[in-house]
Amino acid sequence: MQKTIAVIRGDGIGPEIVDQALLVLDRIAALYGHEFTYLDVDMGGCAIDKWGDPLPPAMLETCLASHSVLLGAVGGPKWNHVPGPMRPEKGLLRLRAGMEVYSNNRPAKIWPQLACASPLKPEIVDKGIDFLIVRELTGGIYFGRHETVTENGQQVALDELRYSEEEIRRIGRIGFETARKRSRKLCSVEKSNVLDSSRLWKKVMHQLAEEYPDVTLTDMLVDNCAMQIVKDPSQFDVIVTENMFGDILSDEASMITGSIGMIPSSSLGDTTRGLYEPIHGSAPDIAGKDVANPIGTILAAAMMLRYSFDMPREADAIESAVSAVLSQGCRTADILPPQTAGCTLVGCREMGRLILDNLKKG
C-alpha cells in the first residue's frame, strides 16, 4: 500500500522525535510491503524564521494533498515577541481549520512497566488503564459568542455554549466508529441534568446508537466521569464528549498514566486524513541534547496506521515493540523512576534504535 505523509518536524525537540518515528515507519514499510512517501512541511517557529508565516499557504496545501500529517511540536519562547496572529500556535490552528478536523482523540494508557509512575493507588492501576477520549474540537463554548458588557454599573461576562444536531452527530459517529475498533464500549459524557446543549447531546447520541447495535452506549454526567477516571479508570473504553468537558477530562486522564511523554493524539474529520502528534510541547530547554522521549510520537505514528490507514497489524507491531523495550528496563529521563534498579537510562536516538530492534512482523 502506498501512502503520502506530510511531516512537520516543527520546533524544539520536534525534529528529534519525528526522525525516530519516521525510522519506525520505514521499518514497518519494509516488513509489510508498504511504501510511505514523506513530504516536508514547515510550520510553527521554524516557518516564521524561514517564511515570516507560521503556516504558509503552500505548506497547508501540501498537508491537504497528503493522506495524513505527522507533527512533532511547535512553539517556544524564541517567538514570544511575535504578534498574536503570527505566533507559532496560530499555524496549528490554521492547519486544523484547513484540514477540517473536528475530533481530537487522545488515549490514556498506562504501560504495566510504568505502573509505579501513576499517582493512583497500585490497586487501582493494577486493574488496567487503557481508554480513549474523543473530544469535539470546533464547537461548544470555546467557539460561541463571547462578550463583556456593563450592566447596572458592573461588568458582566457572557460565553455562549452552542451545539447543533449535526455537530453532535458527526462527533458521535467518530466515537462509535472508534469504539468499534476497540472493545465496543462507548461512554457519552455530558451535563444533561442542567444544560440544554447536553440534553440535545444525549438525545442525538441515543439516536445514533440505533445505527451501532454492536456498540454498548452508556451515559455519564461530566462531574461523575471526572471522579470515576481516578476511582476506576478500568471501566472505560471510549469516552465521547463536547469541547470544554473533553479539554478538562483529557488533561486529567493524561496525568494518571504517569508521563505525557508516552501519550499520542490524533485529530480527525469526515475523511480518513488525520493529524497525528504527541501531546507534549516542544521542550526547547532539552532540544538537541538527545534526551527527549520519542515514544509519544512513535505511538502517534501507530495511531495513524490504525485509524487513518486501516493497518491494525502494523500498529500492533509498533506497540508491541514499545512494550518490549519497556520490559527490558530501558527508560528516557522523563520515565526513569527514582529507584533506578533494573532500569537503564537511554537517550532519544537509542530509544528509537531499541524500538526498531524489537519491531517484528506480527
Based on its alpha-carbon atoms, the radius of gyration of the chain, rounded to whole angstroms, reads: 21
Residue 69 pLDDT: 98
Lowest mean pLDDT among 101-105, 120-124, 308-312, 337-341: 337-341
| 223 annotated active-site | yes
Burial class (CB in 10 A: 0-12, 13-18, 19+), 342: exposed
Name the active-site residue from 49, 196, 223, 357. Answer: 223
CA distance 240 to 179: 10
Residue found by looking up cell 492547519 in the block: 95
| 142 annotated active-site | yes
Is the Cα dihedral 75, 77, 82, 83 positive or negative?
positive
Name the active-site residue from 251, 285, 310, 357. Answer: 251
CA 242 to chain centre: 16
- Mean of all residue pLDDT scores within the chain: 95
Name the active-site residue from 130, 142, 181, 316. Answer: 142
| 109 annotated active-site | no
Residue 292 pLDDT: 97
Residue 84 pLDDT: 81
| 357 annotated active-site | no
* pLDDT tens, residue by residue, 146-184: 999 999 999 999 999 999 999 999 999 999 999 998 999
Residue 341 pLDDT: 78
Name the active-site residue from 247, 276, 307, 334. Answer: 247
Assigned architecture for domain 1-102+263-362: 3-Layer(aba) Sandwich (3.40)
* pLDDT tens, residue by residue, 218-243: 999 999 999 999 999 999 999 999 99
* pLDDT tens, residue by residue, 8-19: 999 999 999 999
User: CA separation (Å) from 91 to 13, 44, 86, 268, 283?
Assistant: 18, 6, 8, 17, 18
**CA atoms lying within 13 Å on the CB side of residue 205:** 28
CA distance 95 to 190: 28
Q: Report which of 136, 53, 145 is spatially closest to residue 94, judged by C-alpha positions.
A: 53
| 191 annotated active-site | yes
Q: Could you tell me which CATH number the domain at 119-256 has?
A: 3.40.718.10
* pLDDT tens, residue by residue, 57-84: 999 999 999 999 999 999 999 999 988 8
Reduce the secondary structure of the chain to three states and give it as a string.
CEEEEEEEEECCCHHHHHHHHHHHHHHHHHHHCCEEEEEECCCCHHHHHHHCCCCCHHHHHHHHCCCEEEEEECCCHHHCCCCHHHCHHHHHHHHHHHHCCCEEEEEEECCHHHHHHCCCCHHHHCCCCEEEEEEECCCHHHCCCEEEEEECCEEEEEECCCCCHHHHHHHHHHHHHHHHCCCCEEEEEECCCCCHHHHHHHHHHHHHHCCCCCCEEEEEEHHHHHHHHHHCHHHCCEEEECHHHHHHHHHHHHHCCCCHHHCEEEEECCCCCCEEEECCCCCHHHCCCCCCCCHHHHHHHHHHHHHCCCCHHHHHHHHHHHHHHHHCCEECHHHCCCCCCCCEECCHHHHHHHHHHCCCCC
Would you say how long the chain is, in residues?
Answer: 362
**CA atoms lying within 13 Å on the CB side of residue 115:** 13
Q: What are the residues facing 278 on neighbouring strands? A: 264
Name the active-site residue from 42, 191, 237, 334. Answer: 191
In the chain, CATH 3.40.718.10 sits at: 1-102+263-362, 119-256
pLDDT for residue 340 is more than 80: no
pLDDT for residue 46 is more than 90: yes
The whole model's pTM is what?
0.89
